[in-house]
């Protein structure tokens, strides 16, 4: 059998191929494609029972219907998030859908801190200057984080890892989540209402999934509550932040800095080379003009450790499907025989 994977990145492919070759040898072949799965590219999956999807694929009802009609029976998402998949349509079509429910939380938490530190200490601007042999310090002043308040929105595995680093910096910890994490409480975290967290925190990092209840969690009202010099970091999902509201706050001279590894309209832009094209997304282009905003292209998870775990879990999901098992990673179970 040939299994096809979409949206495979150059540095990801060797790890993905190695995991599948060790598990299946010559029994099943893996075809890796750099293109994203959507309505235009769905015909390339014809005849493939198993499709490995990426977070930037578009798996709406129409795409899933095309896949099912051409013989696909399983979607194995190589990510934790699955807001790009119409699960209801998959269920109606009898498609099995699985995801990677866990990989290194340190990859994302550490990258969130890399963004926070780079924004706070103006590292990107400093490097651009020194490359031009401009060694002035004007406009590069940051703040000590020790003794200040970190607000962690979402205190699961990644949020807890972020909180442990904040604790190491000597920061006061505020948390918000539907349930309190004992590991975070042990660090001295105080769980508070969301409004208070945004009002008091000097540094706010988002670590919640994108759900209907969390869409635009950071909107105009939330931004208005924040301190004028607060730093906002989003390494979770772009839809958590209302970009228009964020642009208005930045235009008003509010916020000490913003670090975004995700963007609500990133599909069709992130992971691609757009350097020779006109950027038609005016909101993204506008974000890039603010010198206290740092945007990266959804790379927080992108460590050898995390990608290796994603590949290994994808193999297990495929093995479960072929054996007729329903594992913990299954979002839509196969239809009853």
- What would the pLDDT profile of 3-39 be if each residue is shown by its tens digit? 999 999 999 999 999 999 999 998 999 999 999 999 9
Mean pLDDT of all residues in 62-83: 95
Residues 286, 309 within the same domain: no
Confidence of residue 81 (pLDDT cuts 50, 70, 90): confident
Return the structure tokens found at 178: 């539907």
231 occurs within a structural domain:
yes
283 occurs within a structural domain:
yes
Residues 190, 79 within the same domain: no
pLDDT at 217: 98
Residue of 48, 99, 298, 316 marked catalytic? 298
pLDDT at 115: 98
The predicted-structure confidence for 323-335, as pLDDT tens digits, reads as follows: 999 989 999 998 8
Of 165, 124, 57, 79, nearest in space to 259 by CA: 124
Residues 8, 69 within the same domain: yes
Reduce the DSSP state of residue 149 to 3 states and report it.
strand
Q: Which residue matches tokens 């989003």? A: 234
Q: Between β-strands 203-206 and 149-153, what pairing exists: parallel, antiparallel or unpaired?
A: parallel
pLDDT at 254: 95
Q: Is 237 a catalytic residue?
A: yes
For residue 15, what are the domain limits? 2-103+303-332
Return the structure tokens found at 150: 């970190």
Q: Is 125 a catalytic residue?
A: no
337 occurs within a structural domain:
no
Q: Is 266 a catalytic residue?
A: yes
Structure pTM?
0.92
Separation between Cα atoms, residue 255 and residue 147, nearest integer Å: 19
pLDDT at 108: 97
97 occurs within a structural domain:
yes
Return the structure tokens found at 113: 């801190």
Number of domains in the chain: 2
187 occurs within a structural domain:
yes
* Percent of the chain with pLDDT strictly greater than 70: 100
Spatial CB neighbours of 153, under 8 Å, sequence gap ≥ 6: 159, 175, 176, 177, 194, 197, 204, 205, 206, 207, 208, 217
Of 337, 333, 252, 238, nearest in space to 292 by CA: 252
Residues 88, 140 within the same domain: no
Residues 113, 20 within the same domain: no
Residues 211, 77 within the same domain: no
Residues 237, 152 within the same domain: yes
Residues 138, 276 within the same domain: yes
Separation between Cα atoms, residue 322 and residue 98, nearest integer Å: 13
pLDDT at 193: 98
Residues 136, 277 within the same domain: yes
Residues 81, 186 within the same domain: no
Q: Between β-strands 330-332 and 96-98, what pairing exists: parallel, antiparallel or unpaired?
A: antiparallel
The predicted-structure confidence for 29-67, as pLDDT tens digits, reads as follows: 999 999 999 999 999 999 999 999 998 899 999 999 999
pLDDT at 124: 94
Mean pLDDT of all residues in 95-107: 96
The predicted-structure confidence for 284-316, as pLDDT tens digits, reads as follows: 999 999 999 999 999 999 999 999 999 999 999
pLDDT at 337: 67
Evaluated on CA atoms 145, 161, 18, 55, the torsion sign reads: negative
pLDDT at 56: 87
pLDDT at 180: 98
Separation between Cα atoms, residue 304 and residue 9, nearest integer Å: 13
Return the structure tokens found at 9: 């990145």
- Do 207 and 158 form a contact (C-beta atoms < 8 A)? yes
Residue of 28, 48, 122, 237 marked catalytic? 237
Residues 129, 254 within the same domain: yes
Residue of 12, 200, 264, 266 marked catalytic? 266
CATH number, position 231: 3.40.50.720
The predicted-structure confidence for 212-265, as pLDDT tens digits, reads as follows: 999 999 999 999 999 999 999 999 999 999 999 999 999 999 999 999 999 999
Residues 309, 260 within the same domain: no
């Amino acid at each position: 059998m040939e299994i096809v994977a979409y949206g495979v990145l150059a540095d990801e492919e060797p790890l993905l191929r190695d995991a599948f070759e060790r598990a299946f040898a010559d029994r099943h072949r893996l075809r890796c494609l750099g293109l994203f799965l959507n309505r235009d590219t769905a015909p390339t999956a014809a005849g493939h029972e198993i499709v490995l999807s990426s977070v930037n694929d578009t798996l709406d009802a129409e795409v899933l219907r095309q896949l099912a009609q051409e013989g696909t029976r399983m979607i194995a998402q190589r990510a934790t998030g699955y807001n790009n998949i119409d699960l209801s349509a998959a269920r109606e079509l009898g498609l099995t859908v699985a995801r990677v429910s866990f990989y290194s939380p340190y990859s994302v938490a550490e990258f969130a801190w890399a963004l926070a530190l780079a924004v706070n200490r103006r590292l990107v601007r400093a490097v651009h200057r020194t490359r031009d042999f401009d060694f002035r310090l004007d406009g590069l002043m940051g703040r000590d984080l020790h003794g200040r308040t970190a607000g962690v929105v979402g205190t699961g595995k990644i949020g807890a890892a972020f909180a442990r680093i904040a604790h190491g910096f000597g920061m006061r910890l505020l948390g918000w989540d539907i349930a309190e994490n004992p590991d975070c409480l042990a660090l001295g975290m105080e769980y508070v209402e969301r409004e208070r967290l945004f009002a008091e925190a000097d540094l706010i990092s988002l670590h919640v999934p994108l759900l209907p209840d969390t869409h635009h969690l950071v909107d105009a009202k939330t931004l208005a509550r924040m301190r004028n010099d607060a730093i906002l970091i989003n390494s979770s999902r772009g839809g958590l932040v209302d970009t228009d509201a964020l642009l208005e706050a930045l235009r008003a001279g509010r916020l000490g800095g913003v670090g975004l590894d995700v963007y609500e309209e990133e599909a069709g832009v992130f992971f691609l080379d757009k350097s020779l094209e006109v950027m038609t997304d005016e909101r993204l282009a506008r974000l890039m003009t603010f010198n206290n905003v740092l945007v990266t292209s959804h790379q927080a998870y992108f460590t050898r450790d995390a990608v290796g775990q994603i590949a290994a879990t994808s193999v297990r999901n495929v093995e479960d499907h072929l054996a007729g098992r329903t594992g913990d990673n299954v979002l839509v179970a196969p239809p009853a025989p």
